[in-house]
A and B are shown apart, each in its own frame.
Chain A
C-alpha cells in the first residue's frame, strides 16, 4: 500500500468517525440531557476566565456574567454555581482556581456566601460532587452529544420547560430563570430541616479560609458577598444556621479576602430563595459595582 493510499485511508477513517458521531447518538436532545450537559460542562471549565463567581444555586441563578460585563468591561466571567453546593468541599475549592485563565490580568474569585454552603453537611453531599464525578466519568462521551460539542466546550440550545418555570442555560454558566410564580415562603420548610444537626462550624469554614489564604498568596484576588434571598429565609438562616456574618467576615478579611456587602434591593424571588432574571441582573450589577470599587 503506497504512502498516498495510506494517507487517504487515514483521512477517510477520521472523517467517517467524526462525521458519524452525531448520528450515533441521535439528533434530539431531551431537557434532562441538556441540564446534565450544562452542569457537567460547568465542571469541565479550564483556564478560561478572568473572573469566576462560585457558590450554590443562588449564584447559578442569581449572578449574570453578561450584566456584570456591562459594569466591568469585556472581561471573561464564568458562573460556577451548582445546586445545593458547598464552599467547604475541598475538590470544589481546588477546582475554582483552575478555571482562571493563565493570561488573566487580575485573576479574581468571587464567592457567593450562603450559610448552608458553609456547613459540614453540604461538603458531604452537593451538586458539584455529582456533576464533577459525572463529567469525569462521561467526559469523553459528552463530546459525542452533538456537532457543537465537537468544537466548543459548551454549545447549549435554549431549553424552555413547562409554563411555570422556564430555564435558559448559558455557556458562561448562568441559569436564567423566568416564572410567573412568586411564593416567598416556598423554601422555608426545606431550610428548617437543612440546619437540623448541620450548623455552620469553625472547622468547616476553616477549609474555605485556608483555601482563600492559598489563593491570595498565589496572586488571586478573592472577594466574597452574601447572596441575597427573601427576607423570611434570611431571618430563618440567621436564627438557625449558626452563621455569624461579622465573625466570618473578620476571619475572611484576616486571610486576605475582600468582603463586600451588597445594597438591599428587596430581592424578588419566585420561591423565597432564587431570583428571577430581572432580580439577578440587579444583583449582578450591584456585585460588579462593588468589585469595581475595590
Chain B
C-alpha cells in the first residue's frame, strides 16, 4: 500500500481510530497494529507476506533460543543472520550473479527466482530483524516473549517498506507501553506528514520526468551543463522522495505515540563526505556503523585498517541499494571521498579559511552529485557516457525538450530555497525574535504544504526506495 494511494488515506485514519479506542488494552493495541501492518504489507500482492512472516519467526525463535541457552547463542545468531542474508541473496542478489556472469562470460544465466517475486522492503525489514537478534546476542536487549509484540515491531506499517530502520532496542519498549499522545505529538506529526507529502508529490514527482528524460536516452548528449543538470535533478529527486517517505513515517509514528529516529538531516548542507553520511539515510549508516564498521575494528587499529573498514562498509552499503556493480561503484566513490578526507583532513583545513565552509560544502555537493550518476544510470555504459560529459567540458547541442521544463525548475528551486532557509536559520531567528508570529507562520506553512501536496502534485512515480 502506497502512502500516496487513496486506500491508504482510508487505512491510516481507521488504524488511528482503532489505536486510540484500544488505549486501555495494550494487548489489543499490539494485535491491531500487527494485523493492520500485515494488511498494509499484503495489499496489492499478498505473496510477499509469507516471506516477512517466515523471516520474522526465525528471528523471534532465535531470540528465545538465546534467552534459554546462552551456550548456544552463537548458533542461534548464525541461524538468524544466515536466514536473513540467505533471503536477501535469493531474492535480490541473483541479479548481481547474472550481471557478473554476463560481464565475465558474455552469457546470461537464467533467473532462479522470478525477479517480480522480490518482496517489497526486504532489505529494510531483514536489517531491522537482524538488529534484534544481534542486540539480544550482545545482551543489550531482552528478547520479547510475545510473538505479537515482536511482529508489531518488525512489521510496523509506517516504516515497514522503506524505513527508517528502527532498532529493536529503541522500538520494542515503546510498543509495550506507548506514551500518551499529546497535542504536541499530533502537531509534530502533522508537520512531518505535511513536509513528507509535499516533498514527495510536489518536488520528487515533478522532478521525475526531468530525470527520466535524461537517463532514458540511447545516446547521451556530450554537454557538460546538461549532464550536471540531469544528475543534480536526480540528487534532488531521490532526496525529496526518500526524505518524503521517511518524514511521513516519522509523522505517523508520532500520531501513534511512537518515536522514530530522524533519517535525513539536510544532507546537501554537508561540508564533507563524512558529514554527508551523518545526514543521509542516517538509520542505515548508523546500522552499518554499529553492526559492521565497529565490529571490524572501526578506526581504532591504525590508518590502513581504518581505510579497509571504510571501504568494506561503503561497498556493502552500495550493494545494499541494488544488485548491480553500479551500486558498488557508487559506494566505492564515497569510500574514496571519505578516505581522501581521512588522509588529508581537507575539509577541516578549508574550514579555517574565510569562506572555506561554503567552498567545502559546494565541493561536497559536487562530489555527491557526481556519484549519483552510477546510482541512477541504467547501465555502466550509460554511466560512463554521462560521467564523461560531466568531467570533460563539452558543449554539443542538446535538444530543447531535454532541458528541464519551467515547472521542473520550479520544483527544484523550491527545494533549494527550503534548504537555504534552514542553512540561514531563518525559522530559528524568527522564533527567537517573534515566537507567536513564528508559530502562526509554521501553521500556515503546514496548511499550505498539505494543500500543495494535493493541488500541485506532479505526474508521479513510485517511491524510489521501494525497490530497495
User: Contact between A18 and B455 (Cβ–Cβ < 8 Å)?
Assistant: yes
User: Contact between A139 and B6 (Cβ–Cβ < 8 Å)?
Assistant: no
B205 CB, min distance to chain A CBs, angstroms: 9
Contact of A47 among B218, B407, B436, B461 (CB under 8 A): B461
A86 CB, min distance to chain B CBs, angstroms: 13
A140 contacts chain B at the CB level, 8 A cutoff: yes
Contact of A6 among B187, B217, B402, B408 (CB under 8 A): B187
B442 contacts chain A at the CB level, 8 A cutoff: yes
A139-B407, A214-B218 given; A91·B401 CB < 8 A: yes
User: What's the A-B contact tally at a CB cutoff of 8 Å?
Assistant: 120
User: Contact between B446 and A94 (Cβ–Cβ < 8 Å)?
Assistant: no
Interface string of B364-408 (1 = CB under 8 A from A): 000000000000000000000000000000000001011001111
Chain A positions within 8 Å of B454 at CB level:
18, 143, 150-151
B448 contacts chain A at the CB level, 8 A cutoff: yes
User: Contact between B183 and A3 (Cβ–Cβ < 8 Å)?
Assistant: yes
User: Contact between A14 and B450 (Cβ–Cβ < 8 Å)?
Assistant: yes
User: Contact between A136 and B187 (Cβ–Cβ < 8 Å)?
Assistant: no
Contact of B451 among A9, A14, A132 (CB under 8 A): A14
User: Contact between A103 and B447 (Cβ–Cβ < 8 Å)?
Assistant: no
A210 contacts chain B at the CB level, 8 A cutoff: yes
A144 contacts chain B at the CB level, 8 A cutoff: yes
A178 contacts chain B at the CB level, 8 A cutoff: no
Chain A positions within 8 Å of B44 at CB level:
103
The number of chain A residues touching the other chain, given as a range, is 35 or more
Contact of B405 among A7, A21, A46, A137 (CB under 8 A): A137
Nearest chain A residue, comparing its CB with the CB of B184: A3
Nearest chain A residue, comparing its CB with the CB of B406: A137
User: Contact between A94 and B212 (Cβ–Cβ < 8 Å)?
Assistant: yes
User: Contact between B447 and A11 (Cβ–Cβ < 8 Å)?
Assistant: yes
A102 contacts chain B at the CB level, 8 A cutoff: yes
Nearest chain B residue, comparing its CB with the CB of A214: B218
Nearest chain B residue, comparing its CB with the CB of A210: B218
Interface residues of A in 124-164 (CB under 8 A from B): 129, 132-133, 136-137, 139-140, 143-144, 150-151
Interface residues of A in 79-119 (CB under 8 A from B): 90-91, 94, 97-98, 102-103
A94-B212, A136-B405, A210-B218 given; A9·B183 CB < 8 A: no
B26 contacts chain A at the CB level, 8 A cutoff: no
Chain B interface, >50% SS class: helix
Cα separation A97 to B218 with both chains bound (whole Å): 14
User: Contact between B186 and A10 (Cβ–Cβ < 8 Å)?
Assistant: no
Cα separation A84 to B199 with both chains bound (whole Å): 37
Chain A positions within 8 Å of B7 at CB level:
none
User: Contact between B408 and A9 (Cβ–Cβ < 8 Å)?
Assistant: no
B307 contacts chain A at the CB level, 8 A cutoff: no
User: Contact between A1 and B439 (Cβ–Cβ < 8 Å)?
Assistant: yes
Nearest chain B residue, comparing its CB with the CB of A13: B447
Nearest chain B residue, comparing its CB with the CB of A8: B443
Chain A positions within 8 Å of B187 at CB level:
3-4, 6-7
Chain B positions within 8 Å of A47 at CB level:
460-462
Cα separation A21 to B209 with both chains bound (whole Å): 26
Nearest chain B residue, comparing its CB with the CB of A104: B116
B296 contacts chain A at the CB level, 8 A cutoff: no
The number of chain B residues touching the other chain, given as a range, is 35 or more
User: Contact between A1 and B455 (Cβ–Cβ < 8 Å)?
Assistant: no
User: Contact between B443 and A13 (Cβ–Cβ < 8 Å)?
Assistant: yes
Chain A interface, >50% SS class: helix
User: Contact between A46 and B459 (Cβ–Cβ < 8 Å)?
Assistant: yes
Nearest chain B residue, comparing its CB with the CB of A92: B401
A1-B440, A136-B408, A140-B407 given; A10·B446 CB < 8 A: yes
Nearest chain B residue, comparing its CB with the CB of A94: B216
Interface centre among A10, A17, A139, A211 (most CB of B within 10 A): A10
Chain B positions within 8 Å of A98 at CB level:
209, 212, 216
User: Contact between A140 and B455 (Cβ–Cβ < 8 Å)?
Assistant: yes
Contact of B186 among A1, A7, A14, A214 (CB under 8 A): A7
Interface string of B428-457 (1 = CB under 8 A from A): 000000001001101110111011001111
Cα separation A4 to B439 with both chains bound (whole Å): 11
Cα separation A2 to B218 with both chains bound (whole Å): 56
A35 contacts chain B at the CB level, 8 A cutoff: no
Chain A positions within 8 Å of B190 at CB level:
7, 10-11
Interface residues of B in 175-220 (CB under 8 A from A): 182-184, 186-188, 190, 194, 206, 208-209, 212-213, 216-218
Interface string of A9-48 (1 = CB under 8 A from B): 1111110111001000000000000000000000010110
Chain A positions within 8 Å of B401 at CB level:
90-91, 129, 132-133
Contact of A137 among B6, B218, B407, B446 (CB under 8 A): B407
Interface string of B207-250 (1 = CB under 8 A from A): 01100110011100000000000000000000000000000000
Interfacial residues, chain B to chain A (CB-CB below 8 A): 6, 44-45, 182-184, 186-188, 190, 194, 206, 208-209, 212-213, 216-218, 399, 401-402, 405-408, 436, 439-440, 442-444, 446-448, 450-451, 454-462
Interfacial residues, chain A to chain B (CB-CB below 8 A): 1-7, 9-14, 16-18, 21, 44, 46-47, 90-91, 94, 97-98, 102-103, 129, 132-133, 136-137, 139-140, 143-144, 150-151, 210-211, 214
> What 7 new A-B contacts, CB under 8 Å, besides A137-B407, A140-B455?
A6-B446, A9-B443, A10-B444, A14-B448, A90-B401, A129-B401, A214-B218
Q: 14 A–B contact pairs at CB < 8 A?
A: A1-B436, A1-B443, A3-B182, A5-B443, A6-B187, A6-B440, A7-B187, A13-B448, A46-B459, A46-B460, A91-B213, A136-B408, A137-B407, A140-B457
